[in-house]
Structure formats: C-alpha cells, structure tokens
Chains A and B, each alone.
Chain A
Amino acid sequence: MMDATGKTVEVPTLPAERSIDAYRQMVRIRLFEDQVNELYKRGIMPGLAHLYSGEEAIAVGICEALNREDYITSTHRGHGHCLAKGAEPDLMFAELLGKEAGYCRGKGGSMHIADPATGNLGANAIVGGSFGIATGAAFASKQLKNGRVAVCFFGEGALGQGLFYEELNLAQLWKLPVIYVCENNLYNEYTHFSEATAGDICARATAFAVQAETVDGQSVETVYATAKRLIDRARRGEGPAFLLCNTYRYTGHHVGDINREYYRPKQEELEWKTKRDPILLQGAKLIEQGIADQAALDGIQAEALIEMKAAVEFAVAAPYPGPEEVEMHVYA
C-alpha cells in the first residue's frame, strides 16, 4: 500500500490463526448480547442494557491490535469492548444481574464494567465521560515510560461533548499514546447523527493536527490493519490518532427500544444485517481464503453458545452481595 506521500507502507494483516480468533470473538460478543436480550425479556435482568450487536468488528479489530496491559475505556454500549479485551462472560453476566461474583461486585452493572486485569478502565454511562480518563491513562503511560497505549471507545453521539475537543488538544500537544475510536452507528440514541453533527467528523480531529482515518467498521481485518498502524505509531511516541469506524446498531438504543420505525425504517436494519454483517463477512472471507470451512464456523458458533449459556447459568445461580457491601468501596 502507498501512503499519501507515495511511500510504500506495510499493511498489517491478521495471520490465519488470529483471523479465526477474531471471528470467534465476534461470535462470542453476538451470542453474549443475545443472552442479555433474553435475560431482559425473561425479566431476570434488573434495569436495561445497550447491545453492541452489529458493531463487533470494531471492538475485536482494535483489541486484536492491543496488548493485554494496554488500556481501554468503554461506553454504555460496552459489553463488546469488555469481551474483546479479554473479560470473562460469566463474571460479566454476574455483574449484569447485580451479583457479588460480578466484575464490580454487582455495584456497577451493565454500564460500568471495569477490569484492571485486562486494562479495562471501565465503561462510562456519561456520554463522552471517559475522554479524560483515557487521555489521562495515556499521559501516565508517557510519564512512566511503560509503553502502554490507551484506546477510548465512544459513539458518534459523544462528538457533541466539548470535553472531546479539550482532550484532543491536550493529547496532540503532549503527543500522548491514545487512540480515539469513534463508532458511528448512525444514531444518537433515537436521533439520526446527521441531525446532530455539523461539518466533517474527521476534520474535528485534523483541526488539532491529530491523524484521522475512516474505516469500514464492519470489516474486522480492515479495522485491525488500520488500528495496528495507528497503535504502533502511538506507541513509538508519534502521537494520538482518531479512527472513525462506520457501523450500525442492529437493535434499539437499549433492549427496551423495540418499536423503532419512527426514527428508522426496518428496511435499513435488514440491509445492514444481511449485506454488511461483520460476522457473515468475516466467515465468508475465511471460507474463501480456505482458512476455515462452514463446519468449522458452525463449530465455533456451537461452542460459543454453550459457553454463553453456561455463563448465564453461573450468573443466575450466583448470590447477591450482602447488605454490608453497600457502604464498602466508597473510599479506598
């Protein structure tokens, strides 16, 4: 591939083994979210959850390019980021059900899963709430010279928050190793992003001289290849980057958002699900390249389903935290 100056650059690609892993991770996320929806419908899950279905290639493509000790911050639509960074589904389901075995002892819930063991600084229920935390983690990496990169996942709705532009400015001034990953799933909750977003999205980053790129967020290999390049660049101390990933939210804003026709047509949903599904696309690619056959892909699906069902069973059976927990962890 040639870059803008005509120089040949190496395009990072996933080796065969890892492109199957990426497929498996996407399937696991999809089936995890299917179970979340079931738990909601069966009235077992307290509150609501925001499903990541349709956007899996972004979390997986990015996290395949990260090391375990690298940092991520996540959003209210964060289950996919968590799983892709290495979280265990049983402990995640336990958290979603408010159980003591959960990642946050049941005190965080769906929108606040955090896991230091996998570098997950936490999901954030304030839209754009983690721009500062991710930038701060990158700042600490630079100060401590530990070579870690921070990735800040956020939806295009967060582009409306002023904090983003403060952090872009700081990150570029200080050449921080942080990647801002904007998942444009087209809808700010119930409003099409075009009704809320003026001008050019990438221009918002390039105004600060932050390197900005746009990718097809439905192609896990494309996301990986671009992310890998930007992450390596950040790790070398060459500064932050902004990665716009075009994608689609298959379900509603949250599990209870069932009737969506007042803000988007069913035909639109159908087209993305049938023509631009990241799992179908990656599966077809694996078969075409002779890396896997349909039976192997079916096997991955079946295995993941067993894993998710077992994880749900674990979480349903797990006990709630005792009353003594309510005042624990207010202060360290």
Chain B
Amino acid sequence: MPEAPMRELTFAQAVREALAEEMRRDERVCILGEDVAEAGTPFKVLSGLVEEFGTSRVIDTPISEAGFTGVAVGAAMTGLRPVVDIMFGDFLTLTMDQMVNQAAKVHYMSGGKWKVPMVLRTTLGATRRSAAQHSQSLQAWFSHVPGLKVVIPSTPADAKGLLKTAIRDDNPVVFFEDKMMHHKLKGPVPAGEYTIPFGVADIKRVGEDISLVATSSMVQIALGAAEMLASIGISAEVVDPRTLWPLDEKTMIESVKKTSRAIVLDEGYGRYGVTAELAAVIAEGAFYSLDGPVLRMGAMHVPIPFSPPLEDLTVVTSKDVFEAARKLCGKG
C-alpha cells in the first residue's frame, strides 16, 4: 500500500470512488445494470455517479441480465470498457452463456485478435435474510473457467485498488463484493491514486502456528478467530488471496510451510469449491511441511434457508474457525 493520508471509508464508498476515478480518467468506462443510475443500486453503492457522469454513462437497463451482459461483451470488443452490475450474485446464472461461452473465449478463439475488457461486478454472501435465490456465493463457478479473472476483495482499500486494476485490465474480470460489507465494513483507504495488482495475496495478520487462508467475508471471520486463538496462545496467520485467478499460490504455500497447518475459508460451497482448490494447492505445495490435514470451511451444502436461525447455521463463524483451529493445533 502506498504511503498516503488515510481516510476511513466503507466498502461501498471505496467501490464508488474507484468507479468515479476511472470514469474521470477514461471516457470509455460506462456502467450498465438494473437501477444503477438514479437509484444508485438497491445497495446504494453507486449513489452520486449518475449526477456526475450522466445517464449516457451510468445506464439503467431492463431486467435482462443476459441481455445487458451480452451488450457489454460486444461493446468491450468494439471500444468501450463497460462495468456491468449484477445486483445479486444469484442472478449470475442468467449471464452464464455470455460470460463463459462468449466473454471468456473470444480472445482465445480469435487467436488473440479480439479483446473483451469488461468488468462484471456482483455480490456474494448470506445472512441478509434473503433466502435461497439472493444469498449464494458463486465465485467458484467463474474461477473454473479459463479466460476469466476473478477478484474477491475483503477490505475497502483492497476493493478500491483492485477494482481500478480490473477496469484497466484487457480481459473479462468478475468482481465479487460481499453485500453485507457494503455499509457495515469500514477501513482505512489511501487518498488519491493507487492500484493493486492481481495475483498478489495479502497477509492480513502475521502468525506462526496456523494459516487461515480466507476470502472476502471470511477474512473478517478469520481475523476474529485469530483474536480468539491468540487468547489461548495460538498464533494464527491470515492470508487473503484477493484474486482467485490469477492465484498467488506462492504466498499461501510459503505461509503454510512456516506454520505447518492450514484452514481455508470461503463463503461459497466447499464441495468442488474455492476452498477445495485452495486446499489442493496447499496440499501439493506444502505437503511435507504439514502437521495435519488441510481443512476446508465454507457454506453448508444446502440451499440458503430463509429462517434466521437456520440461515445462520449455514455460514462459518469465528467461533467455528477457532474450534477447528484449536483442534488442529492439538489444543482441543
């Protein structure tokens, strides 16, 4: 992080600032999505942008996720740098052909001739009492596809720097924001211009005994667990990959080589999920340093239920991580 005066911004303010700066810098950047203009999205992440940039660049669309995502693919190929807003990550299913068969493959299929410099911003995360079709975390689906880059920031500062990088990238980038963080998570954000490169993990807390590799919403969960572990004498390191592809394998592996234990955390489903991949990378890269199995913790393998006591059971808590880590460290 560059040395600059810090301000406290919410996650949403940081995202908005990144968009505003990039739209001022580059006229080709425009925003497409449902209720992005005057409404500023239902999450109020984009409030104020239409006032500065007008409705020709902050563009309300019909409720046609495939339709306007497809428009963004074609527009990106022909000179614009669109940022698509998919309100709830669950609606990504409607964009799948455009992202997976079109955006991800255009560059390769054309032998490198066409490029698709677009960003698709969307949300992840449960506990908003929104039930099964407004609560999923589908980042694994996109991480599986060659040709896409997947960004999954956990702090306001990371969100700003990574979103600016995403907009400047010449590839289709899928950018996941935890909807519960938008207004609840505040953090220091450097004033002024900076970007954060893709494929560079960030150590959010340095530790010696166990590595907690966590993404997005799970970074705060891991940090909470690390505090609890510290109180019983276990020093936990929290590693945030920040981008799922490109993936900084080295930082994760080095961390686990040092600590000899690892738990990986992601709010998506564990089965065939992000945690499965991260655990495999760690197992392959740090096998001979491990003192125990690499554990995965993610959403329970159920559709997200509406009833609050049930929904809360599906999401990993700091206490869950604390208990698992304690056992793994032989202090159970």
**Which B35-84 residues have a C-beta within 8 angstroms of A?**
56, 61-62, 64, 66-80
Q: Does A329 contact B (CB under 8 A)?
A: yes
**Segment among B103-111, B235-243, B268-276 that sits at the interface with chain A:** B103-111
Given A121-B77, A133-B77, A143-B75: A163 and B67 within 8 A (CB)? yes
Whole-angstrom CA separation of A8 from B255 in the bound complex = 78
Query: Which 8 residue pairs are nearest across A and B when measured between Cβ atoms?
Result: A132-B70, A136-B74, A166-B67, A105-B111, A104-B111, A133-B74, A329-B112, A332-B170
Knowing A163-B66, A332-B115 are in contact, say whether A140-B102 is a contact too (CB < 8 A).
Answer: no
B147 at the interface (CB under 8 A from A): yes
Q: Is A216 an interface residue (CB 8 A)?
A: no
Asked if B146 is at the interface (CB within 8 A of a chain A CB), the reply is yes
Q: Can you identify 21 A-B contacts, CB atoms within 8 angstroms?
A: A129-B97, A130-B102, A132-B66, A133-B77, A133-B102, A135-B70, A135-B74, A136-B76, A136-B78, A139-B71, A140-B79, A143-B75, A144-B80, A150-B74, A162-B66, A163-B70, A166-B62, A167-B71, A170-B68, A330-B108, A331-B171
Check B75 against A170 for contact (C-beta < 8 Å): no
- Contacts A163-B70, A166-B67 aside, 18 further interface pairs with beta carbons under 8 A come to A107-B109, A114-B109, A114-B113, A121-B74, A121-B78, A126-B97, A126-B102, A132-B71, A136-B77, A137-B77, A138-B74, A140-B80, A143-B56, A330-B146, A331-B149, A331-B171, A332-B112, A332-B116
Q: Which of B110, B112, B116, B171 has the most CB of A within 10 A?
A: B110
Interface of A toward B, CB cutoff 8 Å: 71, 73, 102-108, 112, 114-116, 121-122, 124, 126, 129-141, 143-144, 146, 148, 150, 162-163, 166-167, 169-170, 173, 328-332
Choose among B75, B114, B146, B171 the residue that contacts A139 (Cβ–Cβ < 8 A): B75
CB-based contact A329/B102 at 8 Å: no
- List residues 134-150 of chain B with CB under 8 A from any CB of chain A: 146-147, 149
B101 interfacial by beta-carbon distance below 8 Å:
yes
Does B70 contact A144, Cβ atoms closer than 8 Å? no
Judge whether A329 and B77 touch: CB under 8 Å: no
Contacts of B66 in A (CB 8 A): 132, 162-163, 166
Partner of A122, one of B71, B106, B149, B171: B106
Given the complex, which residues of A lie within 8 Å of B98, measured CB to CB? 132
How many A-B residue pairs have C-beta atoms within 8 angstroms? Tell me.
Answer: 145
Cα separation A294 to B62 with both chains bound (whole Å): 55
Cβ–Cβ < 8 Å partners of A332 in chain B: 107, 112, 115-117, 170-171
Residues of chain A lying within 8 A (CB to CB) of residue B174: none
Mostly, the A contact residues are mixed
How many Å lie between the Cα of A82 and that of B98 in the bound state?
22
B78 touches A141 (CB 8 A): yes
Residues of chain B within 8 A of A167, CB atoms compared: 67, 70-71
**What are the residues of chain B within 8 A of A144 when measuring CB–CB?**
79-80
Q: A71-B78, A132-B69, A140-B80 are in contact. Are A105 and B112 (CB under 8 A)?
A: yes
* Interface flags, B164-185, vs A, CB<8A=1, else 0: 0000001100000000000000
In the complex, B30 has a CB within 8 A of chain A:
yes
Q: How far is the CA of A124 from the CA of B71 in the complex (A)?
A: 15
Closest Cβ of chain B: how far from A17's Cβ, in Å?
A: 31
**How far apart are B84's CB and chain A's nearest CB, in angstroms?**
11
Q: Given the complex of chains A and B, what is the CA–CA distance between A167 and B113 in angstroms?
A: 25
Interface centre among B74, B101, B109, B171 (most CB of A within 10 A): B74
The reply to whether B76 and A122 form a contact with Cβ atoms under 8 Å apart is: no
Q: Which of A104, A139, A163 contacts B74 (CB 8 A)?
A: A139
> Are B108 and A107 neighbours in the complex by a CB distance under 8 Å?
yes
Which of A104, A130, A139, A141 sits near B109, CB closer than 8 Å?
A104
Instruction: Please report the C-alpha to C-alpha distance between residue A173 and residue B70 in the assembled complex, in whole angstroms.
Output: 16
Which residues of chain B come closer than 8 Å to A137, judged between CB atoms? 74-75, 77-78
| Cβ-defined partner of B73 (8 Å) among A116, A132, A148 | A132
Contacts of B56 in A (CB 8 A): 143
Contacts of B30 in A (CB 8 A): 143
The listed residue (A122, A131, A134) touching B110 by CB distance below 8 A is: A122
Q: Which of B73, B80, B107, B147 contacts A143 (CB 8 A)?
A: B80
> When the two chains form their complex, are residues B149 and A132 in contact, meaning their CB atoms are under 8 A apart?
no
Q: Tell me, in angstroms, the Cα distance from A150 to B67 when the chains sit together.
A: 16
| Residues of chain B within 8 A of A115, CB atoms compared | 113
In whole Å, how far is B308's beta carbon from the nearest beta carbon of chain A? 35
- How far in angstroms is the closest Cβ of chain A from B279? 24
